[in-house]
Amino acid sequence: MLKIFTFLALLNQCNCAPANTSTNGDVAPCLKEFYQPAYDGIYNCTKEFDFFVENSTSEIFKSGKSCFLQIAEEECSVSQYNLLSTRYQDFLDVITKKPKNESDCENFHFKYNAIKCQPLMDDLGLKDAVLQKRHTKINDSRVLELIDLCDNALTCMSSNCYYFKTEVSIVSAFCETVKMSNSEFKACEWKIERESPDLSEYECLEGDDFYDPAILNKYRFYTKMKDCTKEIMMDICGEKAVVGFEKYAELSADFLIKAAKMQRAMSEVMDEDGSENDEEDD
Ligand SMILES: *[C@@H]1O[C@H](CO)[C@@H](O)[C@H](O)[C@H]1NC(C)=O
Ligand SMILES: *[C@@H]1O[C@H](CO)[C@@H](O)[C@H](O)[C@H]1NC(C)=O
Ligand SMILES: *[C@@H]1O[C@H](CO)[C@@H](O)[C@H](O)[C@H]1NC(C)=O
Ligand SMILES: *[C@@H]1O[C@H](CO)[C@@H](O)[C@H](O)[C@H]1NC(C)=O
Ligand SMILES: *[C@@H]1O[C@H](CO)[C@@H](O)[C@H](O)[C@H]1NC(C)=O
């Protein structure tokens, strides 16, 4: 599988770029520093306050003021901390009150709130990178946890004006592939990869190598030659492996295209930097 981690890392640019001008002073840099340790739970006080709950931001930031400021003092620059501690009420108003014009996505309310999705996405990318190296069984608790995390990240990102629709749809498609990793379809792919049965008898392969790991080859086996793939999977794993086959084949093909594009984009970025190309694991 490909490096989804780097792929999600490209989404780091949420709707939280430092603003040019702001009447209240832009505290987005500090919020970025705040949400990660809050997510990781490394400050004891965050156990009492769930800074990530969407529907009670107001109460949490009011009652959790001292906890918030304690973390900000440690993690943020002096000027950001001073800004926040002296004008906490201004900050509170911005982060808790939805602007009257809800399509004004440039509003700081959205910029600030969107930042809390980032730790979820980073966590998702990291955990996925770890699991992709393993061939997990169906209902592996780590995979189920990843599916939950995906749902949470997606819910967070989907709030009005937090992220661009294109970004939400990338993560949404990614989450579909995460769910697919818990399917009989995927379990069968892994079984075939692991056991590498001799497939030379299959006429539908027309002499092609089913095991050639090149992206283009894999892509063909999910598209033009998918009937052949289906036949092989059914023979080796039984009927259950091809339930939802069309959907999974399409998802796999889409994913390969995106991954290939992403890889190309990444290597172009690397080339511009004058550094070495990102090596491929598989
Ligand atoms: C920042 O805002 C000022 C005043 O609105 C504007 O003149 C300037 O071009 C802006 N700078 C950038 C980099 O957007
Ligand atoms: C957090 O709580 C644990 C257990 O109650 C305690 O041992 C630790 O010292 C506390 N850490 C901080 C930074 O207060
Ligand atoms: C906030 O959401 C949680 C879980 O989604 C729910 O249990 C709680 O009642 C909600 N609170 C408010 C004030 O809507
Ligand atoms: C709301 O904000 C959008 C985007 O900035 C703008 O196009 C629209 O005119 C605004 N609507 C009102 C009623 O101000
Ligand atoms: C996985 O869990 C689901 C829901 O609990 C259950 O219906 C299904 O039979 C399980 N599958 C396997 C292979 O354990």
Number of domains in the chain: 2
Per residue, the 3-state secondary structure of 26-71, as one string, reads: CCHHHHHHHHHHHHHCCCHHHHCCCCCCCCCHHHHHHHCHHHHHHH
Q: What is the pLDDT of residues 157-205, one digit of tens each?
A: 999 999 999 889 889 988 998 999 999 999 999 999 999 999 999 999 9
**224 and 136 co-located in one domain:** yes
Mean predicted confidence (pLDDT) in 127-151 = 90
Pick from 55, 60, 63, 156 the residue to mutate for probing ligand 3's pocket: most ligand atoms within 8 Å of its CB: 55
Best mutation site among 51, 54, 56 for ligand 3, i.e. most ligand atoms within 8 A of its Cβ? 56
- Residue 273 included in any domain: no
User: Which one is predicted more confidently, 77 or 12?
Assistant: 77
**Alpha carbon of 250 to ligand 1 centroid (Å):** 45
* Same-domain status, 81 and 182: no
The answer to the question of residue 235 being in a domain is: yes
Query: Same structural domain for residues 103 and 124?
Result: no
Cα 104 to averaged position of ligand 4 atoms, centre (Å): 6
**Residues 45 and 157 reside in one and the same domain:** no
Q: Are residues 135 and 243 in the same domain?
A: yes
Whether 55 and 139 share a structural domain: no
Compute the distance from residue 282 Cα to the ligand 5 centre, in Å.
Answer: 30
Q: Residues 162, 248: one domain?
A: yes
* Ligand 5 nearest atom to the CA of residue 138, by list position: 13
Q: Is residue 229 part of a domain?
A: yes
Residues with CB under 6 A from ligand 3: 55-56
Residue 8 belongs to a domain: no
Does pLDDT of 4 surpass 50? no
- Shared domain for 208 and 248, answered yes or no, is yes
Domain-embedded: residue 6? no
* 78 and 201 co-located in one domain: no
Residue that finishes a domain, picked among 62, 95, 115 = 115
Task: Assess whether 87 and 134 both reside in one domain.
Answer: no
Work out which ligand 5 atom sits closest to the CA atom of 139. Answer: 1
Tell me which of 138, 141, 181 to substitute to probe ligand 5's pocket, judged by most ligand atoms within 8 Å of the beta carbon. 138
pLDDT, tens digit (0-9, with 9 covering 90-100), for 12-58:
444 544 444 443 488 999 999 999 999 999 999 999 999 998 778 88
**Residue 217 token pair:** 């080859």
Distance 16 CA to ligand 1 centre (A): 17
At residue 8, the pLDDT reads: 55
The answer to whether residues 165 and 93 belong to one domain is no
Q: How far is the CA of 57 from the centre of ligand 3 (A)?
A: 11
* Residue 157: inside a domain: yes
pTM of the model: 0.75
Same domain, 45 and 142: no
The total of other beta-carbon atoms located within 10 Å of residue 5's CB is: 16
Q: Could you tell me the residue range of the domain that residue 209 belongs to?
A: 119-266
**Please, what is the average pLDDT of the chain?**
86
Residue 76 falls inside a structural domain: yes
224 in any annotated domain: yes
pLDDT > 90? residue 151: yes
**Closest-lying ligand 5 atom to the alpha carbon of residue 137:** 13
Protein residue with least CA distance to atom 6, ligand 4:
104
